[in-house]
Structure 1
Amino acid sequence: MSDGRQDAIARAWEEVVATARRTREEGLVVGTSGNVSARVGDIVLVTPTGVPYDRLGPGDAVGVDLEGRQVLGGLVPTSELPLHLAVYRGSGARAVVHTHAVHATAVSTLVPEVPLVHYAAALLGGPVRTAPYARYGTQELADHMLAALRDRTGCLLRNHGTVTYGDSLDEAYDRTAQLEWMCRVWLTASSVPGHSPTLLTPGQLRDVQEALEGYGQPG
């Protein structure tokens, strides 16, 4: 493996660990639940199963190929490896974040799709769907997730949590945070007796999506 390749893998692993720690610090996971991954060429770096994130260091990198064969490290990859690999095989994703965020998980038990309570839904490609329940770590769960992710960059997993992806770990994490916040807003508004939240129309959401195409700094 070339020095450049090794450096890229080392940097990506550092970002994976930092993002995993952030999910715990910001309350999106408890203990060692949830998992994070990043793709470097044909290698997927992924958090290991059952290891507290604060114990992970530069020498603990875990890598697999797109078929799930371990090619780097001695720790066992997360049990949700099929979920991560399904995203990479089915999209141009460079990073995936899976959490058990409280409000999003609560919403996953209530609705087949997150109500359009805020235009943040546009950041995930449209109304966020809830994938049907399947046991963690199974190909069935990965298949349900892929269907829910069609034309989206995030979804809920029923009675389980969230999955988002992006071109970077920062982008994937931001989408997770936006999804959790949007679910919290809907739950909060729905809890007021005698009132129902107003929702955006599909047309209003499309208007936001068009506006976002020119959003941000040039270059």
Structure 2
Amino acid sequence: MLPAVSDRPPPSPGRGWQDRGMAEQRRDAERDRIWAELVGTARRTVADGLVVGTSGNVSARVGDLVLVTPSGVPYDRLGPDDITGVDLTGRQVLGTLVPTSELPMHLAVYRATDARAVVHTHAVHATAVSTLVPELPLVHYMAAALGGPVRVAPYATYGTDELAEHMLRALAGRSGCLLQNHGTLTYGTGLDQAYDRTAQLEWMCRLWLTASSVPGLTPSLLTEAQLAEVGERLKGYGQRR
């Protein structure tokens, strides 16, 4: 005897599958949004003269995924299909373009801090300062926005774990540092903050170079106590939601 044939439609996927699908769509949309913002930030480093050509690099963390600019590709050529991502071990999990050669530095920052974005540049004035002193002199109170006097990480070959280690030591208690004979690195809670810190660091370096170049005069510098006072005031700076 043949089994009875039911007129009922086959069961549809449960609510859990729908929720999971929607969650994945939201995750992908957020990832794509951050990638677009990252590309915009990378292009801004060129437009503002902080890098030349494909030097420098930018990254952003989305969960356990790190989106990063690819190696050797002009930023004005990057589009949505060029999205490049790695996990926190450096294994590429998204895209086909090779990630930036400075990946060890970016990953070191994400592993050691709560950073959500990192900007690395070859800004002229900041790089010049990195060849002159072990620490940017306290020529302006905005050093407090980076956590204190900005240190210079000793030189090491680009793209190496040694450079990443030097950078982390220079970043201790700071959100930015100079890289000797190389450039700058800053991080923040988002791409805007990381970029603003880079721009601020370059401006302070330019300020110090300008002031210290006047013959017969020496720039006045702030004390650690003065900087600490500014640091407290900056905690309440800006609009409150």
Interval of TM-score (by shorter of Structure 1 and Structure 2): over 0.9
Identity %: 74
Task: Name 1:209's counterpart in structure 2.
Answer: 231
1:120 to 142, 158, 176: 142
Residues in 2 aligned to 1:202 and 1:68: alpha-carbon distance in whole angstroms: 38
Please list every run of 5 or more consecutive structure 1 residues that lacks an aligned counterpart in the other structure.
none
What code does the residue aligned with 2:79 have?
A: G
1:177 to 190, 199, 202: 199
How much does 1:161 deviate? 0.1
Task: Name 1:89's counterpart in structure 2.
Answer: 111
Task: Name 1:161's counterpart in structure 2.
Answer: 183
Instruction: Determine if the alignment matches structure 1 residue 57 to structure 2 residue 89.
Output: no
What code does the residue aligned with 1:132 have?
A: P
What code does the residue aligned with 2:89 have?
A: E
Instruction: Determine if the alignment matches structure 1 residue 142 to structure 2 residue 164.
Output: yes
Residues in 2 aligned to 1:125 and 1:132: alpha-carbon distance in whole angstroms: 19
Please list the CA deviations of residues 58-86 of structure 1 after superposition, one character each: whole Å capped at 9, or x if unmatched.
01000000000000000000000000000
Task: Name 1:25's counterpart in structure 2.
Answer: 47
What code does the residue aligned with 2:239 have?
A: Q
Task: Name 2:154's counterpart in structure 1.
Answer: 132
Residues in 2 aligned to 1:176 and 1:27: alpha-carbon distance in whole angstroms: 12
Residues in 1 aligned to 2:238 and 2:198: alpha-carbon distance in whole angstroms: 19
What code does the residue aligned with 2:228 have?
A: R
Residues in 2 aligned to 1:171 and 1:155: alpha-carbon distance in whole angstroms: 15
How much does 1:166 deviate? 0.2
Classify the secondary structure of the residue corresponding to 1:33: coil
How much does 1:50 deviate? 0.4
TM-score (norm 2): 0.90
- Larger Rg computed on CA atoms: 2
Classify the secondary structure of the residue corresponding to 2:240: coil
What code does the residue aligned with 1:161 have?
A: G
Number of residue pairs the alignment of both structures matches: 219
1:68 to 79, 90, 112: 90
What code does the residue aligned with 1:101 have?
A: A
- Structure 1's consecutive aligned runs of 4 or more residues displaced over 6 angstroms after TM superposition are none
Classify the secondary structure of the residue corresponding to 2:203: helix
TM-score (norm 1): 0.99
RMSD of equivalent CA atoms: 0.6
